[in-house]
Copies of this chain bind each other. A is one copy, B any other.
């Protein structure tokens, strides 16, 4: 058995699948497993998760005793207390699951983290923000998630709302209601759903028949149309960029990160808007932070497992 070999597991609990990754202390991904998400409220559900850990450690020919930390990324607010009280898209008994994992991995520190915050920590550890101490990640998917990392640690927030930058109010005049119940949130304009809405509103305003979309967050069709020269699609993306630049301006005036990282499905189309976003951000930002770089994420769908493992590792380091 190698000396000092301690392992970290990152678990990304999503609405459709639970992904688990095994990492060493340097952030090398040593193995991955994935299972469809069961209801995480009983022994069978808990076992689906702990069996994954066993599989990963067995494949690495290591004892469960060497699992030193386990991070669980979940799609809900995680307050500073670690006690999850709201979970919208998954069925989970957070305390039961944590206890079941602790029983199987007696030497492991187990910690929950919000999924967007986990993605930020992943990109900090081994992604586009590697080597930085502070960063803000913007995950642009169906919704718009954020993760704020300062001094190497994620900002969960006292009540679990740290990094909820999709719900920064960027348009005080908005009448449409956001999913969170507020109005004028960044997510309403700069998520995939937001881009589609921008496009449909733009079509309506111009009296143009919209393209056929596969669903309410099919921003890909809009991006592809823009690529093909569609002016209405371009205008929809301009609106996204306008609000996103307002959002980043605001974030810099609060925490002033070293770098921004754009992730999520939409970031694959960043070539269509990144330069424009950098320009508008620079024009709007408080002078000291006008040149903060904006990068595209590297880890894709693995950001969550990387980050969850890293959050666990950081907890262990702090405890030591």
Q: Name A's B-contacting residues (CB within 8 A).
A: 77, 79-80, 86, 133-134, 146, 148, 150-151, 153, 155-165, 167-173, 180-182, 246, 249-258, 284, 286-289, 291-292
A-B contact pairs, 23 of them (CB 8 A): A77-B288, A80-B133, A86-B288, A133-B158, A156-B256, A157-B252, A157-B255, A157-B256, A157-B257, A157-B288, A158-B257, A158-B258, A159-B256, A159-B291, A159-B292, A160-B256, A161-B256, A161-B286, A162-B254, A164-B286, A169-B284, A251-B254, A254-B254
In whole angstroms, how far apart are the Cα atoms of A249 and B284 in the complex?
20
- Specify the main secondary structure of chain A where it touches its partner: loop
Query: Are B288 and A161 in contact, with the CB atoms below 8 A?
Result: yes
Query: Are B171 and A172 in contact, with the CB atoms below 8 A?
Result: yes
Q: How many copies of the polypeptide does the oligomer hold?
A: 2
Closest to A254 in B: B254
Indicate which residue in B164, B246, B256 contacts A155 across the interface (CB closer than 8 Å): B256
Query: Are B162 and A255 in contact, with the CB atoms below 8 A?
Result: yes
In whole angstroms, how far apart are the Cα atoms of A192 and B255 in the complex?
24
In whole angstroms, how far apart are the Cα atoms of A180 and B156 in the complex?
31
